């Protein structure tokens, strides 16, 4: 009896999931966050790329190297540490500091446009 009830509950659950999925797929407003502007990087790719490149160049050498190896060359912490001859914890620290500095730099550039 327990198995039969459990199976019925699963079937109801699957039907309910299918109904929610179909509603989601057919409702375009639920699918799109915003039809005009979804993310700042989508606004003007060349302008954002230029600002990001400029901000990356302003980073300290170690931070810039870690950012380039991690994000552009898809290297892991261990590989970066070996390549740069530094401790893995130092790589994590450089990445964290670089991301914070990039965020601040990009916000500053964005505030200057307004």
Torsion, CA 41, CA 44, CA 47, CA 48, rounded to 10: 0
50-98 pLDDT, tens digit per residue, is: 888 999 999 999 999 999 999 999 999 999 999 999 999 999 999 999 9
Please state, in angstroms and rounded to a whole number, the distance separating the CA atoms of residues 70 and 12: 46
List the structure tokens of 68: 């380039």
DSSP string across 32-60: -S-SS---HHHH-HHHHHHHHHHHHHHS-
At the topology level, CATH places domain 40-113 in Arc Repressor Mutant, subunit A (1.10.10)
This prediction has a pTM of: 0.59
Q: Are 15 and 21 in contact (CB under 8 A)?
A: no
Domain ranges of the chain: 2-31, 40-113
């Amino acid at each position: 009896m327990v198995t039969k009830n459990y199976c019925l509950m699963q079937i109801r659950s699957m039907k309910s999931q299918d109904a929610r999925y179909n509603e989601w797929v057919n409702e375009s407003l639920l699918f799109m966050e915003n039809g005009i502007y979804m993310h700042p990087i989508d606004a003007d790719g060349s302008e954002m790329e230029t600002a990001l490149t400029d901000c990356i160049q302003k980073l300290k050498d170690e931070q810039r190297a870690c950012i380039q190896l991690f994000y552009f060359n898809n290297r892991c912490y261990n590989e970066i540490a070996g390549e740069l001859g530094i401790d893995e914890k130092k790589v994590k620290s450089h990445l964290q500091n670089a991301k914070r500095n990039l965020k601040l730099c990009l916000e500053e550039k964005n505030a200057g446009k307004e």
